[in-house]
Amino acid sequence: YAMLRPDGAAENGAWHIPVPPSVPLLRVTAQNSFGTASDPVWLDDGSDRTFLGELNVETEFFRDYAYVHVRSPHPLTSPPRVRVLAEGQVPDPEVRSLSARHFFATFPLTTELGRSITVEAVADLRGGSSVRGVEENSLAPVTPAAGGVAALSDGSFRLSFPPDGVLSNLFVRLQEGRGGVRALPDDILLDQGATVEMAVPTELLANRSGLFVISDGDLQLLDWREAYGRARLEGRVTRFLGTFLVLEDETPPRLERRSLSYRNATLNLDFRIRDTRSGVASSTIRVTVDDQPVIAAYDPERRRIMVSERIDLSRGRHRVEIRVRDRMDNEAVWHGSIVRP
């Protein structure tokens, strides 16, 4: 790369810039007195080159507008043209250049666009030929007044928004991958939320399985079924959208002993509990001594079961039992003992 500058003052509004014959492509920009640069213009040396490949079109959707990336495998001397094809009319967006191979454009999202949006980019080449790229997108417009539905074409996933389900117009996109469905945008707060229905994959029909959502970094259980139970699961999301999955969970929580003692007529117990899928059902925690219940505290942040209770026990060995279930009814049982000398 080399910086080329004019060799003198402008004549009739034009600058003369000497260009070495070894430079095949020029990026020309200008700055005003405030340092604001113009969009670059690309100039080549006029030699014939074979254009291999096609334009790559990638659209990012935000709350109320779309950002279109157009990338070329070879330098282009002029920006491509971008068209948006939808049910409603969209004026051709202005295309700006980031480099000789990378261009961008934006257009607003409105409910009049409908559910299918095709973005097409076309670039003219020397000799009258052209190269193009196309991307097709499916959107589900959701409004506070009427709600809306986003669903996969095969019926395996459906997201239903009632009226007042969202705070403002939302354009929902569904992306399949890694055994789940990601519903976007997943960073906008909902109002009344939505109902989600998802088919249980064939390979999980014989297993206890649940409908989960990964939202804001957490795995949350929405609904579950026993083995050979319902073929579809249904739940609700009320804060954010996310990635929805059907997962097997037949593994009970795991109890890890930290301390267990009986001194001065007081039982002290501290256990860590882990469950990596549906999560601990804290209401199911039961601690007994010789089949008699004792009061246990559960700390969900540290995932610990703790007991500190005065109990009068006779001399000798006494049975201690801990029972706990996860939210899909998998039960863990721990047996131990304490001794009063």
Is residue 48 predicted with pLDDT exceeding 50? no
Q: Tokens 């070329």 appear where?
A: 72
Q: Give per-residue pLDDT as tens, 233-276.
A: 999 999 999 999 999 999 999 999 999 999 999 999 999 999 98
pLDDT digits (tens, 9 = 90+) for 120-166: 999 987 667 788 999 999 999 999 999 999 999 999 999 999 999 99
Structure tokens at 152: 């996969």
- 146-152-153 Cα angle (round to 5): 105
The set of long-range contacts for 46-50, using a CB threshold of 8 Å and a minimum separation of 24, is 48/126, 48/127, 49/74
Which helix (H) or strand (E) segment holds residue 152: the answer is none
Phi then psi for residue 208, to 5 deg, are -65, 125
Is residue 259 within 8 Å of residue 239, measured between CB atoms? no
Closest CA to 100 of 133, 73, 135, 67: 73
Average pLDDT over residues 186-209: 95
* SS3 category, 203: helix
Query: What is the per-residue pLDDT across 10-32, written as a single tens digit (0 to 9) for each?
Result: 566 666 666 665 655 666 777 77
Cut 0.85: pTM above it = no
d(CA 69, CA 80): 11
